[in-house]
Structure 1
Amino acid sequence: MIPGISLGMSNEAEKRTWERVAPSSDCGLRLDKFWARELADEGVSRGRVQEWIESGLALVDGEVVTRGKHKLAGRETLRIGDAGVAPSDDAAQAVPGELEVVFEDAHVAVIDKRAGLTTHPAPGEPGPTLVNHLLHRWPDVASDISGMDRQRPGIVHRLDKDTSGLMVVALTEGDRLRLAADFAGRRVRKVYLAVVLGRPAQPAGTIDAPMGRHPSQKTRMAVVARGGREAVSDYRVLWTGPRGLASLVAVRIHTGRTHQIRVHMAHIGHPLLGDSAYGPRENVEWSRRPDRLAGLAPRQMLHAFHLSFRHPATCERVTLWRRPPADFCTLLAALPRECLRVGIVGMPGSGKSALLDSLRRAGQPCFSADEAVAGLYAPGGDGASMLGQRFGGAYLREDGGVDKQALFEAMKESGNLRREVMDLIHPMVRHQVEMFFRSHRDAPVAYAEVPLLIEGGWHKDGSVDLVAGVRCPDAKRTGELRQLRGMDADTLAVFDSWQWPEAEKLAACDLILDNDEGLDRLESEAARLHGLAMDRAGARVGETTAWLDRLWPELAATMDQEAEMDTGLATACADDVGTPDGSWEDGMDEVSEDDA
């Protein structure tokens, strides 16, 4: 509550009365239907007519009639009165506040609601709300003037408090009834943008899953097997971030159930980022990420992007869109801005480790598969434990570590054994590499030296973004560098035989680095590699920014075309307004948490 401001209003409305002579053609028509028809242009719903009749405010030839189903004979003199709006402390009141108005005329307004703003006053919601700001901008919407609901004047659909985007509001009761009828009749096209965890298995689909209250958590909704109300959503994956981390999805809802998009996307295994209610476990894990993405989903990432509706007065279609707010765009821009993953390969003894050491001395994040294997083979290491379980103590030392020489000799003798050992150890190394890249996600570039990266197909499956191959003259590699490592020629030849030939390995690389002179030359090649990697990383950031700038208008143009082709929206203006009882809920869009 804003200090010094009451959200109630107590002005008494002027009472109105209407008088008609029933035509003979109306013989047999119900009294409530007669007045609902006659007062439709006045913005009076049939439900309100029924209230007046039951309150004794309807006269037939001077006699009070309190039953709406009273049948007319024709040619009676009929009179009905407006009871006005009784003083009420719970009526919403005007409160100054910022509203971003996208469209406005005498009948309707379309607002780009900001995240964090509740739609209307409700128990437990101190305000101010969107309704309070509407009343300040358009005072005639107030219930004592317009005859609309005290706490929800003008509202025909809602958005969750933490959902941003387009909302249409009615400025008169008649316009509200017509819009509500179109919402109820599914003649309004609503498309939302959501950022969801992971990548849906199907690029597009329809979720037809009835919804109701959660069986044990009454403040939440859920897909239910029995007793649920129809709920239908169409989704389309627009883009997925690197390694399937998260996806941008467009969702069109055909029904307007409470939290429909949030429930449906969680139902197919991809809850919205930032939605702790319907993706609690996933979002706790997200919040614990070791990078800046952890703090970039402070709310459910949902935005009402595109709205197409029939104008209640002119019947012309109004189609609008609004780009997502800053927090939504910041998250999208950050998703592909992970470190550029650079893999380093080369033949045994080619100088890969020396190149990595040079990068490490320059302060770059580096990973060595050889060092990782050494740790796995050490006493207590996962690799030693796995080999011990598989082969007993055949290849273990007394301290529990791996006897590398014994294992090497056995692998030389048996190709099957070598492949089995590789199948046990390589997934462990790969997991460590992935964890290394994740832990350095916020760095521009990170390097991993993995001798069998090409053989493992990492360069094709997206595990790395760029592969640099170290090329060393064979005479130097098998002579000088082999001797520095204390390796005999036969052992080096065995290691060579377990890898692709050098020509094939280097042909699969994006960049070749030469180790044909001394360490100074290798240092300069390391600097060249890092310069090129930084250029590539910078280009990716620019590509992401440009992509987002292009995305919104292109996406809106596509949705405009789809709306034009949607025959379900091309209906002529109907004379009937509202649903049989004219109730406010009949035209509900996705309902806010205030009603949960």
Structure 2
Amino acid sequence: MQEYVEKVGVADVGQRLDVFWQACLEEEGVGRSRVQAWIKDGRARINGQVCTKASTRLMPGQTLTLAPEYIDSSIVPDDGPLEVLFADDDLVVINKTPAMTVHPAPSVAEPTLVHRVAHHFPALLSQSGERPGVVHRLDKDTSGLIVMALSESARLNLTQAFASREVYKEYLALVAGVPDSSGTVNLALGRHPSIKTRMAVVERGGRAAETRYELLWSASDRSASLVRVRIMTGRTHQIRVHMAALGHPLLGDAVYADKTTAARAPRQMLHAWQLRFEHPRSAEPMEFCAPPPDDFLQVLRELCRERACIGLTGAVGSGKSTVRAVAEDMGVPVFCSDRVVAEAYARGGEGCAILEHHFGSRFTQPGGGVDKDLLRDALAESDSLRREVERLVHPLVRHALHAFRTAHDEDVTLAEIPLLCEAGLAGEIDLLAVVYCPDSLRHDRLQGRGWSPERIAMVDAWQWPQDRKLGMAQFVVDNSGSLEELESRARALIRVVHGMLLGHAERCMEELQDIFENPDTMEEGS
């Protein structure tokens, strides 16, 4: 005979006995009238004493049992695969795959875990009801460890152990954002007031629920985190609702997360990681651990993947455009601030409009657009004017750089910005690369392109000295040799950055895999 055991929590005090059991069994499709009939027939007990009054009000700490009368099982065994971690005459421990419902219900048409266990372990069907052997549950799209009883005595023992909180259950979850390093959530849960298929945090009429969590790891962009979660109660959707209530819903959770978070994974990223209990017959400690499945690891691998925007700068004539061209040939998305400014200065451009607003038509060509030669000559005559124009134009470059980075998800991007350091844009990129060419050689090359010594001196004066930029750089691309040598060094720069990012992701996954495969408990790790 199947029997349910529950403890009365603080949030349950004062609730009617029939209302309590109807809430517990709602997912089974059991209505309140059916619960009342079972109570009237003497199938409910409070602290071991039969109670036949459905309206009995609950008291703190009571142990409630209900032995419903189900028709004989109509379960047809299903011969699908099953990952069994342990089995004997009393129980089986399974690593459940996602997209599998644990037990039959009116809304479930496909074979469930119960059907599959019944094929591999026919003794399961010696128990009555539509959910033989079930002593706890996992949501359909939650993967991981679940224990099922193969005998009636084991089922009663394990059911009691779960109700008495003698079973250690720990989960892994990928959540949005970065929660506190640890915490405990004590929020009562009940049916959503308007969407009956959902659970919600409720102020009145809910059931006590306690969730403890610890932060294990966060993505470098702080967009998601891996947490370990221990539930002290086993309420429907408890972890999902509690983490959402904290503002950190599970990635892939189509029910409790916002659309953006729900779209970040193929299912809710929740995995039953550890399970520890005493064997119902021998009292031997049983400990099981199941690392997350491939779909969970794939999402985690993507989160470990870092992206880097290389900020490319250097003195005028140092060879920046050559490095940029090599990056483009290698398929690296490239941002060029000179192009941004040129578009902004064109007729109808935002930069042209800004200069006209501040200076009238002083720097505007008759046909529209900025007269760049006229503007450059004016800047050469007045440092104050140059600083004012830079103050107006640099925000356009910053905004365009933000848009560029948002639009590109590639591992490596490159932003060529001649005044990157001077404009205070170093904080907008991840790695700073400076193209260096000795001043004498650089000046010779510029003069070979028709630059006068005076123009070279003027533009150099507008920029930081090379040694100051070199002091900020993570990478220096030497351009004191031939064009071929510069192109070779530019390719090496891109390859090195790619290798750095790949190495970081691999180390990240190795460290996390070690945690998954060699777990402690939250008490031991506290």
TM-score tier, shorter chain, comes to 0.7 to 0.9
Counterparts in 2 of 1:415-564, with a 5 A limit? 417=388, 420-421=391-392, 424-438=395-409, 440-441=410-411, 445-454=412-421, 463-464=429-430, 466-481=431-446, 484=449, 493=457, 495-497=459-461, 499-554=463-518, 556=519, 558-559=520-521, 562=522
Query: Paired residue for 1:235?
Result: 213
Residue pair 2:182, 2:213 contacting (<8 A) in 1 also: yes
Query: Paired residue for 1:134?
Result: 117
Is 1:122 aligned with 2:89? no
Counterparts in 2 of 1:258-277, with a 5 A limit? 258-277=236-255
Aligned-pair CA distance for 1:503: 1.3
CA distance in 2, matches of 1:152, 1:98: 19
Counterparts in 2 of 1:240-389, with a 5 A limit? 240-283=218-261, 286=264, 297-381=265-349, 383=351
Task: State which drifts further: 397-406 or 472-481.
Answer: 397-406
CA distance in 2, matches of 1:252, 1:381: 57
> Scaled by the length of structure 1, what TM-score is found?
0.69
Query: Paired residue for 2:197?
Result: 219
Identity %: 39
Residue pair 1:367, 1:436 contacting (<8 A) in 2 also: no
Call closer, same or farther: CA 1:282–1:363 in 2, change over 3 Å: closer
Aligned-pair CA distance for 1:321: 0.8
Aligned-pair CA distance for 1:344: 1.8
Aligned-pair CA distance for 1:473: 1.2
SS of the residue aligned with 1:243? coil
Task: Give the residue type in structure 2 aligned to 1:249.
Answer: V
Is 1:107 aligned with 2:90? yes
CA distance in 1, matches of 2:488, 2:328: 14
Cα shift readout 1:215-259 (whole Å, capped 9, x = no counterpart):
332212222344433333222222222322332222222222221
Residue pair 1:346, 1:505 contacting (<8 A) in 2 also: yes
Residue pair 1:189, 1:563 contacting (<8 A) in 2 also: no
Residue pair 1:308, 1:563 contacting (<8 A) in 2 also: no
Residue pair 2:276, 2:287 contacting (<8 A) in 1 also: yes
* Root mean square deviation, CA, Å: 3.7
Query: Paired residue for 1:207?
Result: 185
Query: Paired residue for 1:44?
Result: none
> Scaled by the length of structure 2, what TM-score is found?
0.77
Call closer, same or farther: CA 1:233–1:458 in 2, change over 3 Å: farther
Call closer, same or farther: CA 1:416–1:459 in 2, change over 3 Å: closer
Query: Paired residue for 1:587?
Result: none
Task: Give the residue type in structure 2 aligned to 1:547.
Answer: E
CA distance in 2, matches of 1:370, 1:453: 12
Query: Paired residue for 2:142?
Result: 163
Task: State which drifts further: 230-239 or 490-499.
Answer: 490-499
CA distance in 2, matches of 1:395, 1:230: 71
Q: Which ranges in structure 2 are unaligned for 5 or more consecutive residues?
A: 2-34, 44-49, 54-66
Call closer, same or farther: CA 1:155–1:234 in 2, change over 3 Å: same
CA distance in 2, matches of 1:232, 1:314: 30
Call closer, same or farther: CA 1:212–1:507 in 2, change over 3 Å: same
Call closer, same or farther: CA 1:522–1:550 in 2, change over 3 Å: same
Call closer, same or farther: CA 1:383–1:511 in 2, change over 3 Å: same
Call closer, same or farther: CA 1:169–1:276 in 2, change over 3 Å: same
Cα shift readout 1:94-122 (whole Å, capped 9, x = no counterpart):
22222211122332221111111100011
CA distance in 1, matches of 2:367, 2:263: 37
CA distance in 2, matches of 1:534, 1:141: 54
Cα shift readout 1:439-489 (whole Å, capped 9, x = no counterpart):
x24xxx43322334455777667x42x4322101112334432663x6665
Aligned-pair CA distance for 1:390: 7.6
Cα shift readout 1:172-221 (whole Å, capped 9, x = no counterpart):
23322332223223222222111223x31523323333322223322122
CA distance in 2, matches of 1:103, 1:456: 63
CA distance in 1, matches of 2:232, 2:357: 56
Task: Give the residue type in structure 1 aligned to 2:294.
Answer: A
Query: Paired residue for 2:75?
Result: 92
Aligned-pair CA distance for 1:331: 2.0
Call closer, same or farther: CA 1:398–1:332 in 2, change over 3 Å: farther
Call closer, same or farther: CA 1:166–1:398 in 2, change over 3 Å: farther
CA distance in 1, matches of 2:476, 2:525: 53
Call closer, same or farther: CA 1:401–1:318 in 2, change over 3 Å: farther
Task: State which drifts further: 394-403 or 169-178.
Answer: 394-403
Residue pair 1:107, 1:171 contacting (<8 A) in 2 also: yes
State the structure with bigger RCO (CA 8 A, min sep 6), 1 or 2: 1
Call closer, same or farther: CA 1:195–1:456 in 2, change over 3 Å: farther
Residue pair 2:42, 2:52 contacting (<8 A) in 1 also: no
Q: Which ranges in structure 1 are unaligned for 5 or more consecutive residues?
A: 1-12, 14-47, 57-65, 70-82, 287-296, 567-596
Aligned residues: 471
Call closer, same or farther: CA 1:193–1:394 in 2, change over 3 Å: farther
Task: Give the residue type in structure 1 aligned to 2:75.
Answer: A
CA distance in 1, matches of 2:206, 2:39: 34
SS of the residue aligned with 1:168? strand
Aligned-pair CA distance for 1:393: 7.0
